[in-house]
Amino acid sequence: MCGIVAYLGEKQAYPILINGLRRLEYRGYDSAGVALLADDQLTIYKCQGKVSDLEAHINGRSTVANLGIGHTRWATHGPPNDVNAHPHQGTSGDLALIHNGIIENYAPIKEELVHRGHVFKSDTDTEVLVHLIDDIQRSEGVDLAEAVRLALANVVGAYAIVVIDRKNPDVMVAARKSSPLVIGLGEGEFFCASDATPIVEHTKNVVYMEDGEIAVLDRRQGLKIRNIKNQVKTPFIQELELHLEALEKGGYDHFMLKEIHEQSRSIRDSMRGRLNLAKGEVVLGGIKDYEQKFVNAKRILIVGCGTSWHAGMVGEYLFEEFARIPVEVEYASEFRYRNPVVNEDDIVIAISQSGETADTLAAIELAKGRGATIIGICNVVGSSIARVTHAGSYTHAGPEIGVASTKAFTAQVTVLTLMALMIGQKKGTLIGGNFHRLLNELDAIPDKVQKVLKTEAQIKYIADIYKDAPNALYLGRGYTFPVALEGALKLKEISYIHAEGYPAAEMKHGPIALIDDSMPVFVIATKGASYEKVVSNIQEVKARKGRIIAIVTEGDTVVKDLADHVIEIPETADPLVPLLSVVPLQLISYHIAVMRGCNVDQPRNLAKSVTVE
């Protein structure tokens, strides 16, 4: 949550910052601001609203500067308004600071600073930090970097910050703990950002900062990194693999639509080099050293949040069926706040698109502390979760910018399928013909996804009929129960229609009371183990006049006779149905949200990367 970007070099900082903020806007869009330093003057522009509102606010005013910092906010402490927008300043007015994270002990620090005569303007925790740095700088007579270090030694919480000092236009200081921060190294110029997206068009050379590090970016002396204990650290420079086109809408109206349509490609990328049909094997290089541990595992725990948790639920069915290992799937936020039984024999699979979700990170730390082996499934390369896990497999879905997760889900499920297949084969629980049949079926999934996408016109027609429904139910069974949950989440988060996902058979234990002739019920009723049972559930809904929108297997005639609408998907093996059946549900939500005039890519109150608890 919150995106930060900074520039120090010879070029004009403002266009770089604004462009960077647009790229980071998925992280929060409650307010935006920049601080620009030129001719010993700090100029701050900030306002409530989106980056476009900031541009309108600045329109025509001077932005000349080759040092600047920028911020786009997802509000935690204090409502979204002009005053709470970043950057913030201390009492002297010499410093400007941007922050992503939460300063948990801001209250006692603020009390002490107020006692020392500091006057606060905003309700934010961030303002406390800049006052503290300002206070230390002046009272201790130290330079900015040392003042930052001393201040951070007093701070409890999470932060990625960049600070600039009116008196020293050659330097910016950045620091991180539990919130991401990337440094870009150009020719005589430096960039800092919450992720690499604002940097990629300027340089491919980046340093991902580690927790507890403080970086000094100096025009004359280059980059120097120390940790909070003042020990010198050697920056590890990496080359970015990100491509600019991946960050553009590519002709689509929204990132979400582009990302839905990318799924044939992204699923293929998730399998690339891992699924070898000719040899009849699955190789996941990232977890190779842990294969035996998986084979011997008595239990797997899967942790994640939101859509990643739904993917984890599919993973539960996959691992139990293919590898016969008991699996428990936990919301990371619940797992971390109870006292779970975790031991050295456990494998914990942490799933996260962003690799930055605070609750998932905390769950990993807890499980790691108890000796479990942690395997990550992340999309963002170099992200915090990817770095704190023992091993893992990237999903390779490419950047996902729409706040609603789509291609990340199918990529996560693809990687979980590969993992479960690989372990099942190694363990001997998934033998011969079945293993090979599944490999072939999996290989065919990208083409089948492409076929599902061709139903979009029909889906749009259905969306138009149900766009004004106040509620919706989603039903699935077995492998498609998590898909029902995911379909409901998609509708809720982008169209603001109340939706519930249920196991189809559970409906009669309560939710059936909600059904009347105005209730759309989306049912995944594909051919497979639970088909007849789901058909009975559809009958139950019809008997109460509910409106059925069914996702069925191509050629189905039984459900066609019962349902108000059917959307056909190609036939595949039961365990792979989630990869196909989720696509129409993503498209339905997308089109309903567009028809309702909702901001699909930036739904209200949400942010892409939830780096607060």
Q: Select from 165-173, 352-360, 455-463, 525-533 the region that touches ligand M6R (CB under 6 A).
A: 352-360
Residues 6+ apart with CB under 8 A from 166: 37, 40, 41, 42, 93, 94, 95, 96
Segment (H or E) for 161: strand 157-165
* C-alpha dihedral sign at 589, 592, 595, 598: negative
Query: Of 403, 472, 499, 594, which lies in the binding site for ligand M6R, with binding defined by CB under 6 A?
Result: 403
Does 352 bind ligand M6R (CB under 6 A)? Our answer is: yes
Half-sphere exposure (Cβ direction) of 466: Cα atoms closer than 13 Å: 32
Does 610 bind ligand M6R (CB under 6 A)? Our answer is: yes
Considering the candidates 2, 47, 192, 598, report the single residue annotated as catalytic: 2
String of contacts with ligand M6R for each residue 485-524, x by CB under 6 A:
----x---x-------------------------------
Q: Closest Cα to residue 316, out of 347, 337, 291, 284? A: 347
| CB of residue 385 to ligand M6R, shortest distance in Å | 8
Does 179 bind ligand M6R (CB under 6 A)? Our answer is: no
Q: Distance between CA 249 and CA 549 in Å, rounded?
A: 30
Does 308 bind ligand M6R (CB under 6 A)? Our answer is: yes
- Closest-by-Cβ residue to ligand M6R is 306
Query: Of 109, 305, 488, 580, which lies in the binding site for ligand M6R, with binding defined by CB under 6 A?
Result: 305
- DSSP-derived letter for residue 87 is P
String of contacts with ligand M6R for each residue 359-378, x by CB under 6 A:
-x------------------
Query: Crossing angle for the helix pair 263-271 and 407-427, nearest 10 degrees?
Result: 30
String of contacts with ligand M6R for each residue 560-589, x by CB under 6 A:
------------------------------
Is 305 an active-site residue?
A: no
| CB of residue 399 to ligand M6R, shortest distance in Å | 12
Q: Select from 50-58, 158-166, 581-589, 604-612 the region that touches ligand M6R (CB under 6 A).
A: 604-612
* C-alpha dihedral sign at 503, 505, 509, 513: positive
- Full strand arrangement of the beta sheet holding 31-38: 41-48, 31-38, 67-73, 3-8, 189-193, 182-186, 205-208, 238-239
- Full strand arrangement of the beta sheet holding 498-503: 498-503, 471-476, 520-525, 547-553, 565-569
Strands 182-186 and 189-193: antiparallel
* C-alpha dihedral sign at 261, 263, 268, 270: positive
Query: Of 20, 306, 392, 482, which lies in the binding site for ligand M6R, with binding defined by CB under 6 A?
Result: 306
Does 384 bind ligand M6R (CB under 6 A)? Our answer is: no
| CB of residue 351 to ligand M6R, shortest distance in Å | 7
Does 357 bind ligand M6R (CB under 6 A)? Our answer is: yes
Query: Of 43, 100, 179, 307, which lies in the binding site for ligand M6R, with binding defined by CB under 6 A?
Result: 307
Where in 109-168 is the site for ligand M6R (CB under 6 A)?
Answer: none
Please say which residue, 333 or 537, places its beta carbon nearer to ligand M6R. Answer: 333
Q: Residue 212 is encoded by which pair of tokens? A: 């507890």
Q: Distance between CA 128 and CA 89 in Å, rounded?
A: 9
Does 405 bind ligand M6R (CB under 6 A)? Our answer is: yes
Alpha helices in 428-557 (DSSP H): 432-453, 456-466, 481-495, 531-543
Q: Closest Cα to residue 219, out of 10, 437, 442? A: 10
In whole angstroms, what separates CA 177 from the centre of its chain? 18
Query: Of 404, 472, 521, 588, which lies in the binding site for ligand M6R, with binding defined by CB under 6 A?
Result: 404
Does 66 bind ligand M6R (CB under 6 A)? Our answer is: no
Q: Select from 130-138, 147-155, 233-241, 403-411 the region that touches ligand M6R (CB under 6 A).
A: 403-411
Does 197 bind ligand M6R (CB under 6 A)? Our answer is: no
Is 47 an active-site residue?
A: no
Does 349 bind ligand M6R (CB under 6 A)? Our answer is: no
Q: Distance between CA 371 and CA 364 in Å, rounded?
A: 11
Please say which residue, 23 or 565, places its beta carbon nearer to ligand M6R. Answer: 23
Query: Of 354, 495, 553, 602, which lies in the binding site for ligand M6R, with binding defined by CB under 6 A?
Result: 354
Q: Select from 239-247, 401-409, 425-433, 468-476 the region that touches ligand M6R (CB under 6 A).
A: 401-409
Does 72 bind ligand M6R (CB under 6 A)? Our answer is: no
Please say which residue, 308 or 553, places its beta carbon nearer to ligand M6R. Answer: 308
DSSP letter string, 199-231: TTTT-SEEEEPPTTEEEEEETTTEEEEEETT--
Q: Select from 68-76, 236-244, 368-376, 400-408 the region that touches ligand M6R (CB under 6 A).
A: 400-408
Q: Closest Cα to residue 521, out of 509, 532, 507, 533? A: 507
Q: Tell me: cis bond preceding 87? Omega within 30 of 0 counts.
A: yes
The residues annotated as belonging to the active site are: 2, 608
Binding stretches for ligand M6R (CB under 6 A): 305-308, 352-354, 357, 360, 403-405, 489, 493, 606, 609-610
